[in-house]
A and B are shown apart, each in its own frame.
Chain A
Amino acid sequence: MLILKNISKRLDGFSLTDININIPEGTYYILLGRSGSGKTQLLELIAGLNRPDSGELWLNGENITGKKIQDRNIGLVFQDFAIFPNMTVSGNIAYSINSGKVNREQVNERVRNVASELNITHLLGRSTHHLSAGELQRVALARTLIRSPRLLLLDEPMASIDASLKDDVKRLLRRLKSRGLTIIHVTHDYREAMSLASRVGVIHNGRIIQEGEPGEVFRNPVNKFVARYSGVKNFFEVKFRKENGEWKAVGNNGMIFHLPGNSYPSQGVLIIRSEDITIWNTNPPLQTDNCLRGVVREILPSDSGMEIVVNAGNDFYLDVSSEMFKRQPLSGLSEVWITFPGKAVVTLKEE
Chain B
Amino acid sequence: MDRNGPFRWILLIFSSLILLFLVAPLLGMFMKTGMREFFETTGDKEVRESIWLTVWVSFTATFIFAIAAVPFAWLLARKSSPLKKVIHGIIDLPIVLPHTAAGIALLGFISRDSLLGKAASSFGLNLVNNPGGIALAMALVSLPFLINSARDGFASVPERLEKAALNLGASPARVFFTISFPLAWRSIVTGFVMMFARGMSEFGAVVIIAYHPMVAPVLIFDRFNSFGLSYARPAAVLFIIVALVVFTILRLLSEPGKKAVVKNEYADS
Contact = CB atoms under 8 A, between A and B. Distances in A.
Task: Answer yes or no: do A and B interact.
Answer: yes
A76 B164 contact: yes
A143 interface: yes
Given A69-B167, A95-B170, A144-B168, A82 B268 contact: no
A95 B265 contact: yes
Interface stretch (B82-90, B128-136, B155-163): B155-163
B167 A95 contact: no
Contacts of B25: none
A348 B12 CA distance: 71
A75 interface: yes
A71 B165 CA distance: 12
Interface in A116-151: 124-125, 127, 129, 143-144, 147
Interface in B239-264: 260-262, 264
A82 B161 contact: yes
B161 A84 contact: yes
Given A69-B163, A94-B265, A84 B179 contact: yes
A86 B265 CA distance: 10
A262 interface: no
Contact of B264 (A49, A91, A144): A91
Contacts of B179: 84, 86
A108 B125 CA distance: 53
Smallest CB-CB A-B distances: 4 pairs: A82-B164, A96-B168, A94-B266, A91-B264
B167 A87 contact: no
16 contacts: A47-B167, A70-B172, A78-B164, A82-B164, A87-B261, A87-B266, A95-B178, A95-B265, A98-B266, A99-B174, A107-B266, A108-B269, A111-B266, A124-B268, A125-B268, A129-B261
Given A82-B160, A127-B261, A69 B166 contact: yes
B171 interface: yes
B94 interface: no
Interface range on chain B (Cβ under 8 Å from partner): 20 to 34
Given A73-B169, A147-B169, A90 B161 contact: no
B182 interface: yes
Contacts of B265: 87, 91, 94-95, 98
Contacts of A95: 165, 168, 170, 178, 265-266
A274 B99 CA distance: 78
Given A49-B163, A69-B163, A70-B171, A90 B261 contact: no
Interface of A: 47-49, 68-71, 73-76, 78, 80, 82, 84-88, 90-91, 94-96, 98-99, 104, 107-108, 111, 124-125, 127, 129, 143-144, 147
Contact of B182 (A75, A80, A86, A147): A86
Contacts of A74: 167
B138 interface: no
Contacts of A127: 261
B25 to A, nearest CB: 42
A70 B183 contact: no
Contact of A86 (B166, B167, B262, B268): B262
A86 B170 contact: no
A73 B166 CA distance: 10
Nearest to A153: B167
Contacts of A125: 268
Nearest to A88: B264
A46 B269 CA distance: 37
A96 B169 contact: yes
Nearest to A75: B167
A144 B167 CA distance: 9
A87 B170 contact: no
Contacts of B174: 99
B266 A80 contact: no
B78 to A, nearest CB: 13
Contacts of B167: 47-49, 69-70, 74-76
A231 to B, nearest CB: 32
A143 B168 contact: yes
A85 B183 contact: yes
A49 B160 CA distance: 10
Contacts of B170: 70, 95-96, 99
B179 to A, nearest CB: 6
Nearest to B162: A82
A95 B164 CA distance: 11
A82 B179 CA distance: 11
A80 to B, nearest CB: 7
B166 A70 contact: yes
Contacts of B261: 85-88, 127, 129
Given A75-B167, A111-B268, 4 more contacts: A71-B169, A85-B183, A88-B268, A129-B261
Given A98-B265, A104-B269, A78 B166 contact: no
A80 B174 CA distance: 22
Contacts of B182: 86
A111 B165 CA distance: 17
B164, B170, B172 interface centre (most CB from chain A within 10 Å): B164
B268 A108 contact: yes
A80 B182 CA distance: 20
Nearest to B174: A99
Contact of A82 (B163, B178, B183, B264): B163
